[in-house]
A and B are shown apart, each in its own frame.
Chain A
Amino acid sequence: MATTAIPSETKWWSGGKSPFNSSYGKVMMWYFLMSDAFTFGAFLISYGTIRFSVNHWADPNHVFNAFPFAGHANLPLAFVSLMTFILIFSSVTMVLAVHEGHNMNRKGVEKYMILTILGGIAFLSCQAWEWTHLLTGEHVALLTDGTLGVIPTTVKMNPWGAELDHTTMMSALQKTSHDQLIGIASSLHHGTEAIGHSISTLSNQELINEITAAPGFHATHSGPIAFGGYFFGITGFHGFHVFSGVIINIVMYLKTKLGHFDKRGHYEMIEKAGLYWHFVDLVWVFVFLCFYLV
């Protein structure tokens, strides 16, 4: 192996060699990642500023408590832990691919690139499920016109405000229209058709009685308006990075398979793709902290 220990008296700046001891492409990848870190940092700090500026913010343990196929079980942190471990594991397979590249082992690079790509696709699928769950999962909340309604989490509204006290809830129910009351009542029965037909014949007061008597019924203020925009914006921007990382990894896999890097005599492109992929994992560590843990 052409490995040389770096003599301590090396004069890096006296000319004749690169002071960074690194190829042009790799240094530029580092600078790109640094600028991307500032972009993500600016997004997350802006989110922090707005979150600090309001009296009530959405409680992540309440917002992100669902798990696929687990119905309405309350499982805070569970799904996002799965996503985190998927990304950590795909980072490990990426660094193993880089390692095989250093040893000029094409088969090894191919195997670990495939695993990394699968990890990326698994992560994106998880994110797609989570977004769908938030965009379609409706909860009862106080709307801006003073009535109650069932709303999902979007960039315009969300039901993640503080719990309504009983008096406010009752007076809001009195103002709520017949159609909205039917919507609330059927959401409590999870839209069962049989019940859906019978409740449409009830009067407003009967509907209110039905709703308040339903087990586990609760209503909240509508949540901080910025929550959806920040959540979908930042996880979406990160998800787009994962997506482009998967595309880059697929290209790298094909180039490995076609023997381009063997012809070139080195696997440095795998290292550069690896830098990007690890950066995606790095950003997730901070997204995980800011949106789910604290």
Chain B
Amino acid sequence: MSSQTSSPEITFQPDHSGGTSRIWKIFWVLSVLTIIELALGYFLYLKSGQLSDIVVLSTKCVIGILTLAKAYYIVSVFMHLGDEVRNLIMTIVVPLVLFVWFIIAFLYDGNSWKNLRNTNAGSKPNQIEQVHKEVIEK
């Protein structure tokens, strides 16, 4: 059996002769990563209210990193991006670096919004509740 070159743009046909063992290996990797994520999520649930902020935050960061690892395996192996030439890989991956700025800038903005909300300059929640109560009592 041979697969023909599907289009004239393809100069070098990637090697697809391997078996399915790599696919199943990645399936197990993804499953194990998901189970670890779930275990950490369950740990946060069981210990909620008892952990310091820094432990909660670092556990969530670990879960985030495991998610990025899953994303890497899906894109690289299942979507076969890892088998493509470097030119194509770079044109897909490099623009995604924008997300680094995107995430930092917007979460920082959200956080500063919250800080403002809790000062007298913003709309302090307990003040709103008081005003609300007065309106209801009238």
Interface residues of A (CB under 8 A from B): 1-6, 10, 12, 17-25, 27, 30, 34, 37-38, 41-42, 45-46, 48-55, 59, 61, 76-77, 81, 84-85, 88-89, 91-92, 94-96, 98-99, 102-105, 145-146, 175, 265-268, 271, 274-275, 278-279, 281-282, 285-286, 288-289, 292-294
Could you tell me if B60 and A294 are in contact, using CB atoms closer than 8 angstroms?
yes
Select B17's contact among A1, A18, A46, A81, beta carbons within 8 Å: A1
Cα(A91)–Cα(B48), bound, Å: 33
Min C-beta distance of A283 to chain B, whole Å: 10
Cα(A23)–Cα(B8), bound, Å: 8
Select B85's contact among A21, A38, A265, beta carbons within 8 Å: A21
Least CB separation from A265: chain B residue: B4
Neighbouring B residues of A10 by C-beta, 8 Å: 11-12
Neighbouring A residues of B51 by C-beta, 8 Å: none
Could you tell me if A45 and B9 are in contact, using CB atoms closer than 8 angstroms?
no
Neighbouring A residues of B23 by C-beta, 8 Å: 92, 95-96, 99
Neighbouring A residues of B84 by C-beta, 8 Å: 20-22
Neighbouring B residues of A30 by C-beta, 8 Å: 81, 88, 92
Q: Given that A30-B92, A50-B110, A53-B110 are known contacts, is A2 also in contact with B118, CB under 8 Å in the complex?
A: no
Could you tell me if B13 and A95 are in contact, using CB atoms closer than 8 angstroms?
no
Interface residues of B (CB under 8 A from A): 1-7, 9-17, 20, 23-24, 27, 30-31, 34, 37-38, 40-42, 44-45, 48, 60, 63-64, 67, 70-71, 74-75, 77-81, 84-85, 87-88, 91-92, 95-96, 98-99, 102-103, 106-107, 109-111, 113-114, 117-118, 125, 132-133, 136
Q: Given that A99-B16, A146-B132 are known contacts, is A81 also in contact with B34, CB under 8 Å in the complex?
A: yes
Min C-beta distance of A45 to chain B, whole Å: 5
Neighbouring A residues of B15 by C-beta, 8 Å: 1, 3, 5
Could you tell me if B110 and A266 are in contact, using CB atoms closer than 8 angstroms?
no
Neighbouring A residues of B64 by C-beta, 8 Å: 289, 294
Neighbouring B residues of A25 by C-beta, 8 Å: 7
Could you tell me if B3 and A1 are in contact, using CB atoms closer than 8 angstroms?
yes
Could you tell me if B87 and A99 are in contact, using CB atoms closer than 8 angstroms?
no
Select B45's contact among A53, A61, A286, beta carbons within 8 Å: A61
Cα(A42)–Cα(B133), bound, Å: 37
Cα(A289)–Cα(B4), bound, Å: 40
Least CB separation from B85: chain A residue: A21
Q: Given that A20-B88, A49-B109, A77-B41 are known contacts, is A104 also in contact with B3, CB under 8 Å in the complex?
A: yes
Select B102's contact among A21, A41, A282, A292, beta carbons within 8 Å: A41
Neighbouring B residues of A34 by C-beta, 8 Å: 92, 95-96
Neighbouring A residues of B5 by C-beta, 8 Å: 2, 266
Select A12's contact among B6, B71, B87, B125, beta carbons within 8 Å: B87
Cα(A52)–Cα(B102), bound, Å: 15
